[in-house]
Amino acid sequence: MDTPQRRGRRGPALQTPVTAAIASAAFDELAENGWQGLSMDAVARRAGVGKAALYRRWPSKDAMLMDLIGEAVARNLPDLPDSGDLRRDVRAFLDLTVAQVADPRMPRIGLDLLAEYVRNPAFSEELRRTVAQPRREAAATILNRAVERGELPAGIDISLAVDLMISPLVLRLVISGEPVDEAVLDRMTSMIIAGAAATTAP
Amino acid sequence: MDTPQRRGRRGPALQTPVTAAIASAAFDELAENGWQGLSMDAVARRAGVGKAALYRRWPSKDAMLMDLIGEAVARNLPDLPDSGDLRRDVRAFLDLTVAQVADPRMPRIGLDLLAEYVRNPAFSEELRRTVAQPRREAAATILNRAVERGELPAGIDISLAVDLMISPLVLRLVISGEPVDEAVLDRMTSMIIAGAAATTAP
Amino acid sequence: MDTPQRRGRRGPALQTPVTAAIASAAFDELAENGWQGLSMDAVARRAGVGKAALYRRWPSKDAMLMDLIGEAVARNLPDLPDSGDLRRDVRAFLDLTVAQVADPRMPRIGLDLLAEYVRNPAFSEELRRTVAQPRREAAATILNRAVERGELPAGIDISLAVDLMISPLVLRLVISGEPVDEAVLDRMTSMIIAGAAATTAP
Amino acid sequence: MDTPQRRGRRGPALQTPVTAAIASAAFDELAENGWQGLSMDAVARRAGVGKAALYRRWPSKDAMLMDLIGEAVARNLPDLPDSGDLRRDVRAFLDLTVAQVADPRMPRIGLDLLAEYVRNPAFSEELRRTVAQPRREAAATILNRAVERGELPAGIDISLAVDLMISPLVLRLVISGEPVDEAVLDRMTSMIIAGAAATTAP
DNA sequence: TTCTAATCGAGACGGTACGTCCCGTCTTGCC
DNA sequence: GGCAAGACGGGACGTACCGTCTCGATTAGAA
């Protein structure tokens, strides 16, 4: 028999084979033509599906892509153990970020994701909630633990320090595209620790 | 010699006032409707110009906007005097960045600019050259002067430190949109100086 | 065998009321502005229809007009009873032609029709088959019956006599536009009968 | 008084070779693309001439083509001697018509000419005056001479008989495109003479 | 000879229509 | 009732052409 085994739902989508086919086709089109270049007709054709099948699931092209991408990105959430040492924690955070962005489908889709993120306020909020916030919280946890351990001074600006943990790496990975090797990550780690410690009110 | 003398001039040039009218109309439309919402017919109508006048200058809507915006952004280059003090130099750099992004037309257009930046490789390179590079060089100059004065250690990673001077502020201003007040800029300045000093090889 | 059964219907048909609305709008525009002055946008707007609905049916403006007009003209075929007398038959044929061309929408559209007839070879053939040929056959029938009755000699050139029955009247009606009253039709009838009888090989 | 004496010449005349080049290019384009397909830019390019040179001479594309074609057609006016015999005169008229239409450039351009004739009222009048009227007068002269000689009855409808001399042949040559050989011309001559004689009031 | 007005080639200008493509909705029949 | 196929209204895109205008270079009549 072929009982449609519901295995711990990954999210509302991908429940039926039709939805899965749409998702696959959409990602292919996204990688080939980008967000703006993707047309609903092309996705439906590629998925061997009627256009109505798409609009039965999402109210618009943007909503569909937000949902599909958001879900895909949200799936790989950071899971960082407490190493008991700030330097190791920070380095692990950076490594995880590099690993996630290094996903083979990321280079092309990721940029379009950011493009649409800044373009579309609704998606902006959705993505902030599902993607950015969890990562910011993970970074904040690392910093707070270090404060508790006394590795960082008490009065630091956590929010600013979190920006510091995320933005220089994202700039390199997503925007400037410069290579990020071990040595750079080492120096970046030092930079983050020193910088974070200096975010106290003067 | 009996060269059959060519009559007439070699051909008229594009008329400057027309280009100016198009640019103005395009910026208005951009601010009102955004990159995607901007239509070439609307720009032409607003500029009191035929659509052909647009397509005589640029091969497509995207090319037009890239060119116009890129040029506009490239125009306001940082011009930072040497204050002789690293902290003052860094703070001036941050203030300048805030001021440029705070330009009333920026909030809406700037995001679209970044969106297209990551989407279009050709524009990406163009924008890197005319917008990012000059600012990176200004930041690098500040840091190098500090090294010469002994305010920063000799072995620091200038490129990484430049990232540090730019990315956290850009993240706040362009992406997260969190407010940036004087106090935050003070703490960010401290963070940058401490972080930059720590980018030495371990 | 496991032929993957195709789901859904094979595809929707073009909707009749839409086609009718387009045809009506096209004829209105044609009468008002002529073939060249008719614009597809105007037809679509007048029909309350998207431009795509037009181009889904015909590949171009000319093809659309050829099809619509050709079909309209082809519809009113001559239906001429055998009066048993050549003169009455010929006169009835002329009257029918005048009546058909006297249709209020004809004066303007008819000329454009001929214009396109001579311009476009494909339309030319189509129109010859649906419009000219039936009328030529009706004329030929009249003449052949007269030959059988002995009203016309046996050796006449039917094709040439058919030209005679059609061309002088068409010249007046369509090209020179001179008025055609009862007296002219009387004289033309005499002319045709005498001329037809003289088309024998010398 | 101080009449500001106008120095310099009153202005050079339009240059003949330029006009000739335009005419040649226009006829080429006309033969290749037809009246509607001919574009002024293409004519100017082909003639190696600026578009202004065209509009300096004619107010519009239609006016230019009307003028050029009208003049070309008007040049070969019928010049028919009085043979003293109606049959020979009619046959000569038909032969001349065949010869004129048989001109190698005619087949393609001639049809477009008629097309535009029925489409464009202004051209219609111009062409009627320069092309049709002289030929109708030539035909009328032939008929009137026959009446004077007693070869045709006195009360015939000259206008209708002129239609008879022109329209069947034109129908064949220009519209139906059927071949016209000697035998057909013989029968047509007989038909015309008999028909013309029968155009008397009943 | 010198002035100067009109012509020349080239092509930009405003405007209008074309034919294509896409979005999001709606309709029709097959499963 | 879900599905494929695709027609539907709407609207933007990028192209082509018309008839006008501007530009600098050329040319030939009038002073």
| Per-residue pLDDT reduced to its tens digit, C14-37 | 777 889 999 999 999 988 888 888
Distance between the alpha carbon (CA) of D13 and the C1' atom of F31, Å: 20
Grouping H, G, I as helix, E, B as strand and the rest as coil, residue C53 is helix
- Backbone φ, ψ for residue C59 (5° rounding): -75, -15
Q: Residue D132's pLDDT is what? A: 87
Residue range D16-57, CATH number: 1.10.10.60
**Residue D108: which of D57, D6, D177 has the closest Cα?**
D177
Residues B105-149 have pLDDT tens digits of 665 677 777 777 777 777 778 788 888 888 999 999 999 999 999
Quote the pLDDT of residue B106.
66
- DSSP string for A91-114: HHHHHHHHHHHTSTTHHHHHHHHH
Whole-angstrom distance, CA of residue B89 vs CA of residue B146: 9
Q: Note whether D201 contacts C193, CB cutoff 8 Å.
A: no
Chain C: touching chains (3 or more CB pairs < 8 Å): D
Contact A171, B167 (CB under 8 A): yes
Q: Which of A8, A130, A111 is nearest to A68 (CA)?
A: A130
What pLDDT score was predicted for residue A2? 34
Query: Chain centroid to CA B40: how far?
Result: 23
Q: What is the pLDDT of residue C5?
A: 52
Band of the pLDDT at A3, cuts 50, 70, 90? very low
Nearest-CA neighbor of A175 among A107, A124, A119, A123?
Answer: A107
φ and ψ at residue C85, rounded to 5 degrees? -135, 130
Could you tell me which residue, C63 or A4, shows the higher pLDDT?
A: C63
Express each pLDDT in A38-75 by its tens digit: 999 999 999 999 999 999 999 999 889 988 887 877 77
Residue D68 and residue D23 in contact, taking contact as beta carbons nearer than 8 Å: yes
The mean pLDDT of chain D is: 85
Closest residue in chain D to residue C114, using alpha carbons only: D115
Q: What is the pLDDT of residue A168?
A: 96
CB D69 within 8 Å of CB D109: yes
The whole-number Å distance from D96's CA to E27's C1' is 63
Q: In 3D, which of D66, D79, D81, D77 has the Cα closest to residue D23?
A: D66
Chain A residues in contact with B34 (beta carbon < 8 A): 119
pLDDT score for D179? 82
Closest nucleotide to residue C43 (Cα to C1')?
A: E17
Q: Closest Cα of chain D to C156: distance in Å?
A: 9
Instruction: Report the alpha-carbon distance of residue C120 to residue C122 in Å, rounded.
Output: 6
Average pLDDT of chain B is 86
Q: Which residue is nearest to nucleotide E23 (CA to C1')?
A: A40
Comparing every residue's Cα with the C1' atom of nucleotide E6, the nearest one is D11
Residue-averaged pLDDT of chain A: 84
Fold of B77-197: Tetracycline Repressor; domain 2 (1.10.357)
Q: Which residue has the higher pLDDT, C121 or B153?
A: B153
pLDDT in tens, B33-72: 888 889 999 999 999 999 999 999 999 998 999 888 888 7
Contact D149, D86 (CB under 8 A): yes
| pLDDT (0 to 100) of residue B2 | 36
Element (H, E) at B116: helix B106-119
- CA of residue A16 to C1' of nucleotide E19, angstroms: 39
Rounded distance, CA C80 to CA C95, Å?
11
Share of chain C above pLDDT 70, in %: 87
Q: From the CA of B90, how many Å to the nearest CA of chain A?
A: 14
With a cut of 60, say whether residue C3 has pLDDT above it.
Answer: no
Pairwise CA distance, residues B85 & B70, whole Å: 32
pLDDT per residue as tens digits for the range D135-179: 999 999 999 999 999 999 999 999 999 999 999 998 888 777 788
Q: What average pLDDT does chain C have?
A: 86
In chain B, domain spans: 16-57, 77-197
Tens of pLDDT, residues D24-61 = 999 999 888 888 889 999 999 999 999 999 999 999 99
Q: A36: which chain B residues are within 8 Å (Cβ-Cβ)?
A: 36, 119
Question: So what's the pLDDT on residue C61?
Answer: 93
Question: pTM of the predicted model, to two decimals?
Answer: 0.78
The class level of CATH for A17-72 reads: mainly alpha
Cα–Cα dist C130/C120, whole Å: 15
Task: Reply yes or no on whether the pLDDT at D182 is more than 50.
Answer: yes
Tell me: the pLDDT tens digits for B72-116?
777 766 678 899 999 999 999 999 988 887 666 665 677 777 777
Report residue D8 CA to chain centroid gap.
42
pLDDT at A9: 30
Judge residue D82's burial from the number of C-beta atoms within 10 Å of its C-beta, 0-12 exposed, 13-18 middle, 19 or more buried: exposed
CA D46 to chain centre: 26
Query: In this predicted model, which residue has the larger pLDDT, D13 or C132?
Result: C132
